[in-house]
Amino acid sequence: MINILVIEDDPIDLISIKAKIRELGYDEPVVSDHNTDMEMLINKTNPQLIISDIYYDNKPLGLTLIDICDSLDIPLILMTADTRVDTFNLANKNHKVTYLVKPFHHLTLQTCIDMVLKGVNTMSAANGNFCYVKDYDNKKVKLNYKDILFIKAEGNFCHIQCQQEHYMIRISLAHFGQELDEQFVQVHKSFIVNKVHVEKIASNHMVIIKQEIPIGRKYRNVVTEHFPALK
């Protein structure tokens, strides 16, 4: 089991992060706040992975860890509620750093951990009507678009729900949507659905395998074009 160092000064966020780490089966992490000398702390605790907030006292002090971790060859996950592109670009300047938007699901955290420890992304370029993704055993899987029920965005990740399987890839919903064919339609800022699998439609949501997918106001006109029953 790996030794994880968590750097977070918000006590509520810290409780949540520790709970997610335990839920994933990892040992209790070492925790600290930004007031500690980072290099001294790292040398003392010898972590195999660091998970840190970016902002402390409204300053992006967590970004200083990028160079420290790079020099020590330690994978780094940076967390923040900030979704600005410039912050994202700074936080992703090398393959051993990934960016996690709060709040996040524990499976999203697991995917981040897998990626930074292996130093790889989880999706290969799309090709025709399919793409390649990696499952939780890090095995490459050919995913046919026709088998996708819906896609849900979470930060800079997409959850892909199929009939039996679920995958998570590091790509924005907008980018992934550009790769999909005409059977897919975006119905909400966080959801793209496969029209073939829609079972029921209401004024503000649709149903796929008993799960309600919200219809955003911004997307209602687009939805009505694809689903005449709403007109």
120 or 144, greater pLDDT? 144
Residue 42: predicted pLDDT: 85
Residue 83 — very low, low, confident or very high, per pLDDT cuts 50/70/90? low
Range scoring the smallest mean pLDDT among 77-86, 118-127, 203-212: 118-127
- Domain map of the chain by residue range? 4-118, 130-230
**pLDDT of the residue at 33:** 74
67 vs 47: CA distance, rounded Å: 16
Please, which pLDDT band fits residue 117 given cuts at 50, 70 and 90?
confident
User: Considering the entire predicted model, what is its pTM?
Assistant: 0.53
What local confidence, expressed as pLDDT, does residue 103 receive? 84
Long-range contact pairs involving 180-185 (C-beta distance under 8 Å, separation at least 24): 180/145, 181/129, 181/145, 183/145, 183/146, 184/145, 184/148, 184/151, 185/222, 185/223, 185/226
Q: Which residue has the higher pLDDT, 173 or 87?
A: 173
Cα–Cα distance for residue pair 15/67, rounded to 1 Å: 27
Query: How high is the pLDDT of residue 54?
Result: 86
CA separation, residue 126 to residues 111, 143, 180 (Å) = 20, 10, 8
3-state secondary structure of 187: strand
Q: pLDDT-based confidence at 148, cuts 50/70/90?
A: very high
Indicate the fold that domain 130-230 takes in CATH.
OB fold (Dihydrolipoamide Acetyltransferase, E2P) (2.40.50)
C-alpha pair distances (Å), 94 with each of 18, 20, 48, 66, 120: 26, 25, 17, 9, 11
- Dump pLDDT digits (tens) for 162-207: 988 888 777 778 888 888 888 999 999 999 999 999 999 988 999 9
Q: Region 16-21: what's the mean pLDDT? A: 92
CB 80 within 8 A of CB 52: no
CATH topology assigned to domain 4-118: Rossmann fold (3.40.50)
Q: How far apart are CA 48 and CA 75, in angstroms?
A: 7
Q: How confident is the model at residue 84 (pLDDT cuts 50, 70, 90)?
A: low
